[in-house]
Each structure stands twice: as structure tokens, then as C-alpha cells.
Amino acid sequence: MDHRKYMTILKLDEAAIASRRAFFAVSDEDLARLASLRPLAEKIIDAIVEDFYALLLSHPDTRKFFADEATIRRVKRTQREYFMGLFAGRCDLAYVEDRLRVGAMHERIGLAPTWYLGAYRQYLELIRQHFDAQLTEQGAARDGFLSVQRLVFFDVALAIDTYIAANLEALGRHQAAVRELSTPVIRVHDRVLLLPLVGTVDSHRAQQIMESVLTHVVEAQARCIIIDIAGVPVVDTRVADHLLKTAAAVRLLGAQVVLTGITAQVARTMVQLGLDVSSMHTVSRLSEGIELALGMIGKAITAKSK
Amino acid sequence: MSAHSQIPILRIGSTLLVSIQIDLHDAVAEAFQADVLSAIEQRGTTGLVVDISGLDMVDTYVARILAETGRMAKLMGTSTVLVGMRPEVAATLVRMGYGLEGVRTALDLDDGLALLGHVIARR
Amino acid sequence: MIQVAATHRLSIDCEGDIIAVRRRVRDIAELRKFDSFATAAITTASSELARNALVHGGKGVALIEEVTDGSRLGIRIVFEDEGPGIEDIPRVLAGGYTTARSMGLGLSGSKRLVDEFALESTPGSGTKVTVTKWRRF
């Protein structure tokens, strides 16, 4: 997913960024301080990037993300950009967008938050060491480090939000796929549809079935939809009621339901439970249902003459 | 034609054609009913097609106006077909327990006119 | 814990207000990306309940709230009137009330269109109906 899309999903506008900045205590003073540390950052960047990747390459779970020398060269370049970004002295929409790009990239390659957060620990320690060694003025190393830490936590929150948004989006896509699979509507003939139902029908699925059937009937301008229930293990009062509601709604559209796949067992249950399905055309076998449906649109299956 | 309800009523031979495109609030719905019935009264009408494809919502009040209009037309010798109901409207009405039993339905105008032809030929 | 993100208050004094209420509900449902079936369901339920408040209460108020329970977005609507109230609530909800126009099917029908439905009524001091529809994932 494009990082710009995350900006929208996470509702990251000027106001949201201002609110985050206030909570993470990233002040203008911090940004000014970081900008003033830019010459130092340029001086220590090589050492930091080298030491940082030394750790990532030494651990088996993180090493696998760096397949070859070219990859390592590329991520080091990205890392340098990221590092210098901390000392750019700004924390605006463009900055956030840039940070989301990094988060989205990590999500895409499948780097779990564990390793991402663990790597940050190393990153901060390295920065601290260099600050301590280079900023000799009283309190300068501590103040500089605090400013870095504030901005880094701000970045980490953005990355974690990106991870979560990406996972929710994937879950939504999978659920949509399952929904599609649970109501596979097939076009049998011009204006005749078939829905073979397989598996248990609970009230949640029954609602999906009704909505899917109605949408398909109107889209295909179908005169008739055959619902085959041979693959439904239990047909009780509830399931029958759902089927009747679907048939009633299909009738409102101006089309009809033919119910097929009624086994001896199902027929016995229906009669014993006193279920009235007389508002639907019902037949035992799917082939008979298809013939019945074709009859409704003025078509018939005939034997080929020799 | 009468324009109380601002819903135009077209006549094709002995068939009246009404397409509802506006949000029916109560006064409009009742005026619509009155307009349709007086149009039937004026000249020999055998069929009425009501197109509701423009309605994204039909509550029980509007549904009842539609069903009643059909029954009133029937008393005056006119058969009614309701065409173009949207999937969301059908699902909502059925879930509310409002199946519009006794009202003839068709997918679109073509199907509706064809159905009317059959019904009137059988009479 | 249910949090209210936004509130819209509409009074129901005439038939035109029924349309205003359901249009506002539809706009919110569409803006919040409810699917078309859920949008039609909550819009229709609000039309039924707004008419109910007007016809049986003389006038009323609709309080439309955009809510979240942490994982889902929802629309909660409270309809209140100061009419005569309802004597036999179970009978009305079963759809058996046919004395006044659309009363029975209005309440029992809208109950079947929403995810949560609560009816409070004291004879003589009005009726309050609260409905919630959650956005499907």
C-alpha cells in the first residue's frame, strides 16, 4: 500500500501532527537544537550506520532481510537519509510522509515490530555514545540526546500505527475474499443465475447470502436464481426462514428463486417442522432446477436430432 | 396531466407509466396516489407501471401507499406492476416483514410491460 | 466503552423534518463508508422512528451520534417525544399494533433493521427509542 494512503487512513493532517508533537514533547526548541547539531551528525553518520548494520547483520533473525551486498548498500543509503532527517530541524506534513514511507517499507518486507524496536535501541545507544564523546560542553550531550529521543519516539509511533493499519487492511481484504467465496454466484445462462451453497448457514452468512443474491440478480437482470442447498448439512427452521426471506426479496425485484438439492432427509425435516416453502419453486435435483429456470425465460433443453 | 405531486404520469395506449424519481414525503406520496387514480378514471386504462428505480429508500409508509394504489387501481380494472426496485430496498422491506404480497413486480420497464401484456391477455 | 465522536440534533415538528432526519442519517452513513445495505437499513429505520415520534408524540427530537466502541464505527440515534407513551410495549414490538397508521410495523420493523434497539416508554410521559447500527468490517 502506498504511504500516502496511510496518511489518509491514519488521518494525519496538520492538526493531528500538532497534537502528536505536543504529546511527544517535540518542541520548536528541540527542532532548532537538532538543526544546530547537523554538522556533528554529518561527522558521525558513517560510524553510526556501520555499527548499526553490524548488529543487524550479526543476528540471524534480522540478517535474513539483507540478502546481498547490493541490498545492504541500498538500505545503508536509506538509513543515512533517515538519520539526516532527524537533524533537518522540521517536523511537518512532509516529514511525517517521509517517515510513513519508511514504516510502510518495513511492513512490506515483513520486518516484525520486535526487530524494528530492538534496532532502535541500538540506534539510540550509538547516538548517545557519539554525543557523549563529541559534545563536551556541560549538559549539551544530554540535551541533544533528549531532543533526538523525542523525535525518535514520534517516528516509532508512526511506524507502529502503519504496521497496525496495514494489518487491518489485509484482514479486511481477506474477509472480503471469504465473503466472495461464501456466495459464489454463477451465470448459468443469460438471465439465469446459480448459487451453490456449501457449509453451515448461520444468520450472519444468511444476511450476506441475501445481499449477494439481490445484488447479482439486479446486475445480471436475472429472471431466476437457482439456490442449490445440497451442500448445506443442516436445514432447520432458521435456515428455511432465511431462504424464504431471500425468496421474498428476490420476488420484490421481479425475479424468482428455484430451490434445488432438497434431499429426502431435508424434505422430511421440512414437513415434520411444518415449514411452508410453497412460495418457492422446489425440486430435488439441480438439473431439474436448471430446466425449470430455463423454462421461465422461454428456453428449453432438447435432444439433438440425428 | 395533473401535477399536484410533481410526478409526471405518461400514457402509452391504455397503459400508464409513472417513474418516481423524488424522495417521497408523506404529502407527495398521497398526492401521487390521488393523481394516479384520477388519471385512471379519466380514460380507459388497463395497466399501470410504477418505476421505483429512483428510490434509494422505501419505508413502510411509502410501501403501503404503493401497495394501496395497486389495490385501488385493481378496483378500477387496472393491473399494476412495480418495477426497478433496488436490492437494498428489497432487503430492507423483507427484513421489516413487509413483503408486498399481492403486488406484481418486474426487473425493469421492458419486463414490466411484457408482464402486463400477459396479465391483460389472460383476463 | 462507547465514545461519541460527533452529535447532530434535529427537531421533528413536521413531515419535512422526517426527510431531513433520514437525509442526514444517510449522509453520515455514506460519509462513514457504511455499505449500501447497512445505509439503507439505518436510513429506513430512522424514517420509521422519526414518523413514529411525529405521529404519536405530536413532535419530537432526533439525536444522531457518530460513535465508536474502539474497534467499530457506528451510528446511534435517539428519538424522543413527549406523547402519550406506549401501554403494551411487547405487543407493539411484535408488530401487532395496528390502531394508528404504521405504528406496529414502524417500531417492530425498525428493530429488525438495526443491531441494537432499546425502547423506553411510560404512559403519559413520552417515548424514547435508541437504535445503533455498526459498520461491518
Domain span at B77 = 9-122
Domain span at A244 = 186-296
Residue C137 to residue A175, Cβ atoms within 8 A:
yes
Whether residue A242 sits in one domain with residue A167: no
Q: How far is B7 from chain C (nearest CA, A)?
A: 18
A218-236 confidence digits (pLDDT tens): 999 999 999 999 999 888 8
Q: Is residue B2 part of a domain?
A: no
Whether residue A156 sits in one domain with residue A31: yes
Last residue of a domain, which of A116, A149, A180?
A: A180
B63-80 confidence digits (pLDDT tens): 999 999 999 999 999 999
Last residue of a domain, which of A180, A195, A223?
A: A180
Domain of A32: which CATH number? 1.10.490.10
Domain of C104: which CATH number? 3.30.565.10
Residue among B26, B27, B92 whose CB faces C40 most closely: B92
User: Which other chains touch chain B, taking contact as 3+ CB pairs less than 8 Å apart?
Assistant: A, C
B1-53 confidence digits (pLDDT tens): 444 677 889 998 899 999 998 877 777 888 999 999 999 988 779 999 999 99
Residue among B26, B64, B88 whose CB faces C40 most closely: B88
User: Which residues sit opposite A193 in a β-bridge?
Assistant: A187, A225
Q: Is residue B28 part of a domain?
A: yes
Query: How far does chain B reach from its first CA to its final CA, in angstroms?
Result: 28
Whether residue A102 sits in one domain with residue A8: yes
Asked if residue B67 lies in contact with residue B30, where contact means CB atoms within 8 angstroms, the answer is no
DSSP at A37: T
**Average of pLDDT values for C1-30?**
93
Whether residue A197 sits in one domain with residue A171: no
Q: Is residue B80 part of a domain?
A: yes
Q: Determine which of C46, C105, C112 to mutate to test the interface with B (most B C-beta atoms within 10 Å).
A: C105
Q: How far is B60 from chain C (nearest CA, A)?
A: 7
Closest CA to B57 of C128, C26, A248, C124: C26
Question: Which residue numbers of C have CB closer than 8 Å to B's CBs?
Answer: 15-16, 18-19, 22-23, 26, 36-37, 39-41, 43-44, 47-48, 51, 95, 101-102, 105-106, 108-110, 112-113
Whether residue A137 sits in one domain with residue A119: yes
| Model ipTM over 0.90 | yes
Residue C137 to residue A211, Cβ atoms within 8 A:
no
A19-37 confidence digits (pLDDT tens): 999 999 999 999 999 999 9
Number of domains in chain B: 1
Handedness of CA A139, A144, A149, A154 (dihedral sign): positive
Domain of A232: which CATH number? 3.30.750.24
Please give the residue of chain B at the shortest CA–CA distance from C35: B88
C58-71 confidence digits (pLDDT tens): 999 999 999 998 77
User: To the nearest whole number, what is the mean pLDDT of chain A?
Assistant: 89
C81-105 confidence digits (pLDDT tens): 988 888 777 777 776 544 444 445 6
Half-sphere exposure of C37 (CA within 13 A, CB side): 19
Q: Residue A181 has what pLDDT?
A: 77
User: Which residues sit opposite A165 in a β-bridge?
Assistant: none
Q: Is residue B109 part of a domain?
A: yes
Q: Within an 8 Å CB–CB cutoff, is residue A254 touching chain C?
A: no
Whether residue A24 sits in one domain with residue A143: yes
Q: Determine which of A203, A211, A219, A253 to mutate to test the interface with C (most C C-beta atoms within 10 Å).
A: A211
C32-44 confidence digits (pLDDT tens): 999 999 999 999 9
**Average of pLDDT values for A165-179?**
82
Q: Is residue A72 part of a domain?
A: yes
Residue among A211, A222, A254 whose CB faces B106 most closely: A254
A90-135 confidence digits (pLDDT tens): 999 989 988 888 778 777 788 888 888 888 898 899 999 999 999 9
Concatenating the DSSP letter of every residue in A180-228 gives HHHS--EEEETTEEEEEEES---HHHHHHHHHHHHHHHHHHT-SEEEEE
Domain span at C112 = 3-134
Please give the residue of chain A at the shortest CA–CA distance from B105: A254
Q: Is residue B112 part of a domain?
A: yes
Whether residue A53 sits in one domain with residue A139: yes
Residue among C36, C41, C105 whose CB faces B97 most closely: C105
Residue B60 to residue C37, Cβ atoms within 8 A:
no
Domain of B97: which CATH number? 3.30.750.24
Q: Is residue A302 part of a domain?
A: no
Q: Between C66 and C72, where is the model more confident? A: C66
Q: Is residue A79 part of a domain?
A: yes
The answer for residues whose C-beta is within 8 angstroms of residue C86's C-beta and 6 or more apart is C92, C119, C121, C123, C127
Say yes or no to pLDDT of A68 above 80: yes
CB-CB neighbours of A25 under 10 Å = 14
Question: Which residue numbers of C have CB closer than 8 Å to A's CBs?
Answer: 37, 137
